Structure 1
Amino acid sequence: MIQPIYGCDAHDQTYLFSGEEADEWFDEQVAAIQADGGVGRTLRIGPLDAPEMRVDIDIVAGRAALWWLPDGTYAVKLPPGRPIVVVRHADSGLVTIPPGLARVSVPTARAAVVAYADTGRKPSGLTWTPSEPAGQTRTARALRQGDLLARAEVARRRAVAAIASIDAGLDAVDGSRGGGICSHLCTVSEHLGIVIQTLSRRGRVGTDLVRIAPLLVPPLLGNWAKRPTFPGSVAMVLAATAVSYGVDRYLSYRYDARLAAVPAVEPYTGQYPQGCIGWVKDQIRAGARHIAAALDLTSQLHTVLPVPTSDTPQSPPCGTRLRLIAHHVDVAHRHLSTAGVNVRQLSLYAESL
């Protein structure tokens, strides 16, 4: 017996339909105009709360990315074209789907949705390709260059800076107008912290060995010299400590330089002294600028990570390290998008003061 099939749109509204109704629902959804003026959107189809198919589609571009979520594969029937931009969730920002993933036409996506609604099974007649190999290739290069770690670190720092600025601004106005902005940003910081920890795990052992290697020199030299004098031993320990400190400072300098090289939206510079209403507006503007920077950086991370196959932020996917990273980046991006919407409303209120 086929389970009831539901369609879910970008507003998380669900519709129960049969195979005969799926084509009509599909046509209505893909033709609707989004808030940004475009028609790109994401549709999720399957049993309630457990969609098995996802369609990222733009009828103007004539392309769609068709996903089978249980195994993380996507359909391929066309050569790579141009990227498409979709609204995955109404309360989040736009998501760019790379050309290598949007590989089916609109009619093919429509036929696949109807076939799935009819049978409840993965549509046949299409080439289903795992998303992981291409993602691994792109991400391995980014990992070697340190781009992912640096961008995640800068995004997290900007989110934390936004919390400080917005908190300061809300202290001087009606705090209830914050719309949970700081709560969203704390969640962003938490998930990006997991990303940073996961990305730096492999390199930490080598870095620690470089830092402690100088401290291993005195015992080794002492054994080689058989009978080191006391002043000589002290001198070796002091020299090794100085070298270790120098190595640590050099590694910190290299890391800070890498963070400074990350292209990001410039912070807002305040114009008013503390205590006046202009200063409150400055704090809100600064927070909004930090959120915009963090949102842009998480969007950049999306372009080199595998597309998350889980639509449930509370349930990290099982599988590879890259999929785990992609999941936490996706959750952070969603909360940043919500915080961005709320901070715009707060900015309008602040400007009216």
Structure 2
Amino acid sequence: MIYDEGWGEAKAIESCTVWADQDFVTVTCAAHAVDYLDELSRAIWPNGGRAVTLQVGQWPDLENAPLRISMDYDAGRAAVRWVPDGGWGVEPNVAPHHEDLHVLVDSHEPVETIAACKARVTPGGVRRAMWEYATTGQRPSSLEWRAELDV
């Protein structure tokens, strides 16, 4: 896929791993990371929906993956969390979603409910955040970060 988003060159960090439910893929550049994200957007998960939580970090350290994206593709919203400091990502000029998100984290567990006030990132914002993390290994700067998001 060709990216003409104005995000810059698809530089690679050493690699990063994206976990989704019981699956994972290790990507070696930002373009591959965004391609995988786009592939996941078309998947129907075991709960029957297109809502899943992705954890992005360094293999094999799932427990310390710093970027957590809970995306409901049908609702067109995501909650993005930077785990090391607990910050919530907010895409500029995006209001909270009108209803909670119900996302699959693990197909062996019930779906997780994410409060609507935390769903402040669009699919395009998620793609940009994934691109940035895969390029830098750092917290995406395209989002504003807040300690708490309330109603």
Q: TM-score, normalised by structure 1?
A: 0.36
Tell me if 1:39 matches 2:56.
no
Once the two structures are TM-superposed, the CA of residue 53 in structure 1 deviates from its matched residue by: 0.2
The total of aligned residue pairs comes to 133
Name the counterpart of 1:128: 145
**Contact persistence 1:54–1:69 (CA under 8 A):** yes
Once the two structures are TM-superposed, the CA of residue 47 in structure 1 deviates from its matched residue by: 1.0
How far, CA to CA, are the matches of 1:36 and 1:116 in structure 2? Answer: 28
Tell me if 1:52 matches 2:52.
no
Name the counterpart of 1:79: 95
Once the two structures are TM-superposed, the CA of residue 3 in structure 1 deviates from its matched residue by: 4.5
Q: Read off the aligned partner of 1:97 and give its amino acid letter.
A: I
How far, CA to CA, are the matches of 1:53 and 1:91 in structure 2? Answer: 22
Name the counterpart of 1:8: 19
Name the counterpart of 2:7: none
How far, CA to CA, are the matches of 1:112 and 1:129 in structure 2? Answer: 15
Secondary structure class of the residue paired with 2:84: coil
Name the counterpart of 1:23: 34
**Contact persistence 1:22–1:114 (CA under 8 A):** yes
**Contact persistence 1:116–1:122 (CA under 8 A):** yes
Q: Read off the aligned partner of 1:16 and give its amino acid letter.
A: T
Q: How does 1:65-144 map to 2 (within 5 A)?
A: 65-77=79-91, 78-81=94-97, 82-131=99-148, 134=150
Unaligned runs of 5+ in 2: 1-11
Once the two structures are TM-superposed, the CA of residue 63 in structure 1 deviates from its matched residue by: 0.3
How far, CA to CA, are the matches of 1:114 and 1:105 in structure 2? Answer: 14
**Contact persistence 1:7–1:45 (CA under 8 A):** yes
Query: How many percent identity over aligned positions?
Result: 31
Q: TM-score, normalised by structure 2?
A: 0.81
Give the CA RMSD over aligned residues: 1.8
Unaligned runs of 5+ in 1: 139-353
Q: Which structure would you say has the larger Rg?
A: 1
How far, CA to CA, are the matches of 1:64 and 1:97 in structure 2? Answer: 9
How far, CA to CA, are the matches of 1:34 and 1:122 in structure 2? Answer: 27
Structure having the higher helix fraction is: 1
**Contact persistence 2:128–2:142 (CA under 8 A):** no
How far, CA to CA, are the matches of 1:111 and 1:2 in structure 2? Answer: 16
1:150-186: CA deviation from partner (whole Å, max 9, x where unpaired): xxxxxxxxxxxxxxxxxxxxxxxxxxxxxxxxxxxxx
Secondary structure class of the residue paired with 1:100: helix
Name the counterpart of 2:76: 62
Higher relative contact order (CA 8 A, sep 6+): 2
How far, CA to CA, are the matches of 2:18 and 2:47 in structure 1? Answer: 22
Q: How does 1:1-353 map to 2 (within 5 A)?
A: 2-11=13-22, 13-17=23-27, 18-48=29-59, 49=61, 50-77=64-91, 78-81=94-97, 82-131=99-148, 134=150
**Contact persistence 1:80–1:101 (CA under 8 A):** yes
How far, CA to CA, are the matches of 1:59 and 1:34 in structure 2? Answer: 11
**Contact persistence 1:63–1:103 (CA under 8 A):** yes
Once the two structures are TM-superposed, the CA of residue 14 in structure 1 deviates from its matched residue by: 2.2
Q: Read off the aligned partner of 1:113 and give its amino acid letter.
A: M
State the 4+ residue runs in structure 1 displaced beyond 3 angstroms. Answer: none
How far, CA to CA, are the matches of 2:138 and 2:116 in structure 1? Answer: 26
Once the two structures are TM-superposed, the CA of residue 30 in structure 1 deviates from its matched residue by: 2.3
Q: Read off the aligned partner of 1:79 and give its amino acid letter.
A: A
